[in-house]
Structure 1
């Protein structure tokens, strides 16, 4: 496999090559072992949430509308909800992936079209509470009802997701994005990111869209590959845009 080194010279903007990168990591099915939102709905939602899910799968509604309607069906006291979601396991390799990024000065942001309350609880239990999380906001209303808001939706209405990952990537400010994901909420950003690590449904999308990616099943597989990229070995499949970035 052809490869080329990351240069030691500073790029045009005066920052080191590594300082140009940011990592965006999906949560449900990527960091978490299961889709935690589906687990929450299966445990606490009144009947009807699956029919709403079917409308989303069929493309009749966007994920934002889907989630808002499903969350309105939740019935759980906050302490019961929190106790349940704290039990969710994560891919143990995520901590390794985070350490690799930190060693190279690459900030990691968890960006999800899921529920922020769940994500914070799971990461806190895993000892990763310091990571920034961008997701839909879940808040209790009364004794056992819940409301969802989407502070990171696309303002221009161009994206029907609750969290527009493309908008988030732009707002984070670094010119080169590493995406790690597994599903539909990652499709749009995968077509714009500079490095893509994909699993599950995101693999099929990348194949269909002609997007270059690195497949993985566990994050412990992705971490050493990224380490090689950032320490001097970039895969030959990298795009010309990546070459331009690392060559300054």
Structure 2
């Protein structure tokens, strides 16, 4: 098979809920209106997220507790281990922030998974994003340009798999060798004529991989 990588989106793909929804529902009811405006195109994705993450107003222990309460696909930790044991590298590629992703990885004891995302940090009761406009992966809309990351990986790997669930994932899906699509991403890729395999969970992805003989 040569060297290969599995790259997964985080919010809504690995996690069953987007972290921004957890914040809106718990601390920021005004976020419901903001969400509508964002979906209507009045906000860039990254501006919407920055506003939401700055509206938590809790100490860091509480925020970490909230992050750990985020429900994830139960099969993800063992799937990652199986990929790594079968000679694949696993990456997370997210237009959210590494701040909560790293806490989730730590919480589930997941090792050796590099995270490509917007840099985040805790300060003054909130989560802030540190966006570098000169970074090679910078995107005005998302903070990080996911397709640039996948393009770069394709120079290093013979085969790059990708999994995602929503609009930001439609761009890297065009570049990846094979995309597994959940939820809204399925319709978006259909409309754009981008090939994909529709799935609902990592258990299904693992089954497909076992049938193809990719996992040992």
Q: 5+ unaligned residues in a row in structure 2: which ranges?
A: none
Q: Which residue of 2 aligns with 1:72?
A: 54
Which whole-Å deviations, capped at 9, do the CAs of 1:14-66 have from their partners, x for residues lacking one? xxx331x2211011111112222210232233x53233322221123221121
Q: 1:151 to 1:224 in 2, by over 3 A?
A: farther
Matching of residue 133 in structure 1 with residue 115 in structure 2? yes
Correspondence 1:101-180 to 2 at 5 A? 101-142=83-124, 144-151=125-132, 155=136, 160-172=141-153, 173-180=156-163
Q: Which residue of 1 aligns with 2:2?
A: 18
Q: 1:139 to 1:156 in 2, by over 3 A?
A: closer
Question: Which one of 180, 186, 197 corresponds to residue 169 of structure 2?
Answer: 186
Q: 1:175 to 1:165 in 2, by over 3 A?
A: farther
In structure 2, C-alpha distance between the alignment counterparts of 1:213 and 1:156, rounded to whole Å: 24
Q: Which residue of 2 aligns with 1:42?
A: 25
Tell me if structure 2 keeps the 8 A contact 1:64–1:161.
yes
In structure 2, C-alpha distance between the alignment counterparts of 1:211 and 1:74, rounded to whole Å: 37
Deviates more, 1:189-198 or 1:69-78: 69-78
Q: 5+ unaligned residues in a row in structure 1: which ranges?
A: 1-16, 233-248
TM-score (norm 2): 0.87
SS at match of 1:107: strand
Q: Alpha-carbon deviation of 1:158?
A: 5.7
Question: Which one of 16, 22, 39 corresponds to residue 57 of structure 1?
Answer: 39
Q: Alpha-carbon deviation of 1:154?
A: 6.9
Deviates more, 1:124-133 or 1:21-30: 124-133
Tell me if structure 1 keeps the 8 A contact 2:132–2:138.
no
Q: 1:94 to 1:182 in 2, by over 3 A?
A: same
TM-score (norm 1): 0.76
Larger Rg: 1
Which whole-Å deviations, capped at 9, do the CAs of 1:137-180 have from their partners, x for residues lacking one? 221223x1332123599758665112221122233332532111
Q: 1:151 to 1:59 in 2, by over 3 A?
A: same
Q: 1:95 to 1:140 in 2, by over 3 A?
A: closer
Number of residue pairs matched by the alignment: 213
Cα RMSD of the aligned pairs, angstroms, is 2.4
Which whole-Å deviations, capped at 9, do the CAs of 1:160-210 have from their partners, x for residues lacking one? 112221122233332532111111120101122111111101101111111
In structure 2, C-alpha distance between the alignment counterparts of 1:215 and 1:89, rounded to whole Å: 21
State the structure with bigger RCO (CA 8 A, min sep 6), 1 or 2. Answer: 1
Tell me if structure 1 keeps the 8 A contact 2:138–2:144.
no
Deviates more, 1:208-217 or 1:113-122: 113-122
